[in-house]
Amino acid sequence: MAEAVTRRTTCRLCGSAALTLVLSLEPTALANAFVDAAAMCTAQTLYPLDIYLCERCGHAQLIDVVDPRWLFQRHRTAIAEVPAAVESTDAWADDLIRRLRPRQGALIVGIGSNDGTLLRRFDAAGMRPQGVEPVLDLARSAINGGVPTFPGFFSPGIAERIEEERGRAAVVIAQNVLAHADDLAAVIEGVQQLLARDGTFVFDVAYLLDMVEGGLFDGILHENLGYYAVAPLVRFFHSCDMELVAVQRTNGRLRGFVQRLGGNLRSDATVEALCELEGRAGLATPTVFEDLGRRIAATRNALWSLLEPVQQAGGLIAGLGAPAKSTSLLYQLGLDRQVIALIGDDTPWKQGLSTPGLHIPIMPTDELVRRRPDLLIVLAWEHAEALIAQARSCLGWEGRFVVPLPEPRQV
What tens digit of pLDDT does each residue of 318-367 get? 999 999 999 999 999 999 999 999 999 998 889 999 999 999 999 999 89
Q: Please report the pLDDT score of residue 192 as a whole number.
A: 96
Could you tell me which residues are beta bridge partners of residue 54?
19
Give the Cα-Cα-Cα angle 315, 321, 326 (nearest 5 degrees).
Answer: 95
Burial class (CB in 10 A: 0-12, 13-18, 19+), 308: exposed
pTM score = 0.93
* Pairwise CA distance, residues 187 & 241, whole Å: 14
Q: Please report the pLDDT score of residue 2 as a whole number.
A: 46
Map out the domains of the chain as residue ranges.
2-66, 79-287, 303-410
In this structure, whether the domain defined by 79-287 belongs to CATH 3.50.50.60 is answered with no
Q: Please report the pLDDT score of residue 186 as a whole number.
A: 95
In this structure, whether the domain defined by 303-410 belongs to CATH 3.40.50.720 is answered with yes
Are 79-287 and 303-410 the same fold in CATH?
A: yes
Q: Please report the pLDDT score of residue 166 as a whole number.
A: 96
Nearest-CA neighbor of 330 among 24, 2, 35, 29?
Answer: 29
* Pairwise CA distance, residues 85 & 128, whole Å: 22
* Pairwise CA distance, residues 400 & 317, whole Å: 10
Q: Please report the pLDDT score of residue 11 as a whole number.
A: 98
* Pairwise CA distance, residues 138 & 149, whole Å: 10
Mean pLDDT by 10 residues, the chain (411 residues): 79 98 97 87 92 98 91 76 88 95 97 96 97 93 96 95 97 94 95 96 97 96 97 97 96 96 89 97 96 97 96 95 96 96 93 96 92 94 90 76 96 87
Q: What is the dihedral of CA 206, 207, 213, 219, to 10 degrees?
A: 20
* Pairwise CA distance, residues 256 & 247, whole Å: 4
* Pairwise CA distance, residues 258 & 256, whole Å: 6
CB 194: neighbour CB atoms within 10 A?
A: 27
